[in-house]
Amino acid sequence: DAKTTQPPSMDCAEGRAANLPCNHSTISGNEYVYWYRQIHSQGPQYIIHGLKNNETNEMASLIITEDRKSSTLILPHATLRDTAVYYCIVRVGGKLIFGQGTELSVKP
Amino acid sequence: GAVVSQHPSRVICKSGTSVKIECRSLDFQATTMFWYRQFPKKSLMLMATSNEGSKATYEQGVEKDKFLINHASLTLSTLTVTSAHPEDSSFYICSALLRDRERNTIYFGEGSWLTVV
C-alpha cells in the first residue's frame, strides 16, 4: 500500500503558485519522497525528490517538514500545461507504490 | 531528465496470442526496471521488478507465467503477455532506475496501450 495521502483534487489559477500537500506520517528515516505527474494517456513524468532537505529544480520546489511527516510540492507559476495528476510517493524497498494522487486543474 | 522508451506505443492482438512490449533506457544503464499496468481513471499498479541477469520479482497477485519479464541487458527489459485475453487490455508502463550515488531517480516510459480483441 502507498504510504502517502493526498487531496483528490485541487484548482489553481494560471500564473499563481500551486501548492500540493502530501502526508507521509509513517515514513522511515532513509526513505525518499518522490513527486511525479501524469498527463492523460502518458507515462508519469519525474518532477523532484528529496530526503529531508528542501529541494528545488527547474520544474518545482519540494518542501519537507522537519519531522518528515509531510511535504509540499510548489509549482511557482502554474500554467495550463501543468494540469495533470500529481503523485507523491515514498519509495519503500526500492519500489514506487502509487497512491491515488491529486488531480490539479489550472484554470485561466 | 533521462530517457526511457517503450515500444510499441499501441498494439492490438487477438485473444490467445502473445504480445511483447519493450522498455529501453536510452542514455543510461539500468540494472533495475519496473513494470506497471494502469486501468482507465485508476492509479498505476506495480506488477514486477525486473533485475538484469536474474529473475523478475512479481507483486502479489500477478501471474508470473502470464506476464513474462526478461531483462537480458542493462538497457532493455521486455514484458510478454502470454495467451492474452480481453481483460488484459490495459496501459502498460515501464520505468528504469538511474543510480547516482545516493540520489537514485526512477524515470518512466511513455506507456504502451494493449488492446486484446
DSSP codes of every residue in A27-94: --TTPPEEEEEE-TTS--EEEEEESSS-EE-SS-EEEE-TTSSEEEEEESS--GGG-EEEEEEEEETT
Over range A66-74, report the average pLDDT: 96
* Contacting residues of A for B50, CB less than 8 Å apart: none
pLDDT at B1: 67
Candidate from A41, A49, A97 with C-beta closest to B46: A97
Shortest distance between the Cα of A17 and any Cα of chain B, in A, equals: 23
| B112/B9 Cα distance (integer angstroms) | 4
Is residue A97 within 8 angstroms of chain B, CB to CB?
yes
**Measured between CB atoms, does A45 come within 8 Å of chain B?**
yes
CA proximity to B109, closest of B64, A102, A53, B97: B97
Q: What is the pLDDT of residue A40?
A: 86
pLDDT for position B100: 81
Residue with cell 504510504: A3
Q: How far apart are CA B35 and CA B32, in angstroms?
A: 10
Q: CB contact, 8 Å: B93 with chain A?
A: yes
For the stretch A6-34, pLDDT in tens is: 999 999 999 999 999 999 999 988 899 99
Report the C-alpha gap between A19 and A47 in whole angstroms.
14
pLDDT value for A53: 87
A104: pLDDT strictly greater than 90: yes
Residues A78 and A107 sit within 8 Å (Cβ to Cβ): no
Total residue count of chain A as it appears in this document = 108
Q: Do A97 and B110 touch (CB under 8 A)?
A: no
Q: Which of B36, B46, B105 sits opposite A46 (nearest CB)?
A: B105
pLDDT of residue B14: 97
The pLDDT, as a whole number, for residue B115 is 97
Please tell me the total number of residues recorded for chain B in this structure: 117
Tell me if B35 sits within 8 A of B79, measured CB to CB. yes
Residue written as grid cell 486501468: B39
pLDDT score for B2: 75
Residues A34-53, mean pLDDT to the nearest whole number: 94
Q: How many CB atoms lie within 10 A of CB B7?
A: 14
Residue B48's nearest CA partner among B95, B86, B10, B90 is B95
Decide if B50 touches A, using CB distance below 8 A: no
- CA triplet B96, B98, B101: central angle to 5 degrees? 155
Please identify every stretch of chain B with a pLDDT value under 50, giving residue numbers as ranges: none
Q: Is B88 helix (H, G, I), strand (E, B) or coil?
A: helix
Contact B88, B37 (CB under 8 A): no
B32, B97, B110: residue with CB nearest A43: B110
Of residues A41 and A47, which shows the higher confidence score? A47
B108 touches chain A (CB under 8 A): yes
**Is the minimum CB–CB distance between A96 and chain B shorter than 8 Å?**
yes
**Closest to A95 (Cβ–Cβ): which among B4, B49, B109?**
B49
Q: Which of B75, B71, B73, B70 is nearest to B27 (CA)?
A: B75
